[in-house]
Amino acid sequence: MFNAPTKENYPIIGIIGGSGFYDFPELVTEKKVRPKTEYGYPSDWITIGSCGGVRVAFLPRHGHDHKLAPHRIPYRANMEALWKIGVRSVVGACVVGSLRRKIKPGDLVLPDQFVNLTWGRDDGVRADGSFIHLPMTQPYCENLRRSIAKQARSKRIGLHKSGVVVVVQGPRFSTIAESRWFVRNSWDVVNMTQYPEVYFARERGICYAAVAAVTDYDAILHEETDLTVENWQKVRDTFINNIVITRKLLVSVIMRFPALGGCNCAKTWQPEFYKDL
């Protein structure tokens, strides 16, 4: 039986782990929950614990054994479950490929815009059959992004403070032709999971920011991504190091988690708004 959170015990920040980021050993674990929502169950059990005295909820996006492909992740259920246990701010960790030479493998990027090229994901009508025309001018929480950037500076972690992430369907990677198209449109990194995760956060009124770790260059820089053992070993080493750096940054963000205010993320967008237009 799931007990609803109280003012005294609810997690105040949620962390969603991406590929390779399946647990958060820095947390002092209190319990694990997997609340059922009207959209089903979240990807996996949610670990609730504390870090530096701050309450945290951690959820692995793909499941603890990476069993969920990007287009199979229950994005809406994930956000609903986090909301249900009291989370009102979320940082989603993810991996990306770079579309620009200046954004190098091993760098972190703080996206401020996305382009959605996915299809068939659970971003349609809600459980009650209603839908909303959700404003997405600024899809990421500016307050939360500023806080992450500040902590990255304090830890001397290299971070690109903005970037356009193009979200592809996956699970396959881009062709060179597709990658050329992305570059021509001046997009910065490519990913498979940012949409509709960021969308559902905004719909639910949750402050959301992403920390995107660059593993390699996309296909347009194909000389960097040839399928050789040596190159794949470099990608793997970068991937593992990125997880360490991302966790270090997130711990700093958690321990100095601000009382956010002044943003529009928690504004409720209701269908009734359109009735008299």
Q: Is residue 4 part of a domain?
A: no
Neighbours of 77 (CB within 10 A): 20
Distance of CA 249 to the CA centre of its chain: 14
97: nearest Cα among 181, 6, 166, 145: 166
The CATH number linked to 269 is 3.40.50.1580
In a domain, 3, yes or no: no
Provide the token pair at 122: 């659970």
Residue 228 lies in a domain: yes
The residues that are catalytic are: 216, 218
Asked if residues 39 and 20 have their Cβ atoms less than 8 Å apart, the reply is: no
Please indicate, yes or no, if residue 216 is contained in any of the structural domains.
yes
Task: Tell me, yes or no, whether 224 lies in a domain.
Answer: yes
d(CA 174, CA 179): 6
Residue 2 covered by a domain: no
Q: Which domain holds residue 18?
A: 13-123+133-274
* Contact criterion met (CB below 8 Å) for 189 and 212: yes
Any domain includes 1 = no
In a domain, 128, yes or no: no
Q: Distance (Å, rounded) from C-alpha 7 to C-alpha 234?
A: 46
Number of domains in the chain: 1
| One pLDDT digit (tens) per residue for the chain, 277 residues | 455 555 556 678 999 999 999 999 999 988 999 999 999 999 999 999 999 889 999 999 999 999 999 999 999 999 999 999 999 999 999 999 999 999 999 999 999 999 999 998 876 667 776 777 788 899 999 999 999 999 999 999 999 999 999 999 999 999 999 999 999 999 999 999 999 999 999 989 899 999 999 999 998 765 555 556 677 788 889 989 999 999 999 999 999 885 545 577 877 555 554 445 4
Q: Is 276 helix (H, G, I), strand (E, B) or coil?
A: coil
Q: How many residues make up the chain in this entry?
A: 277
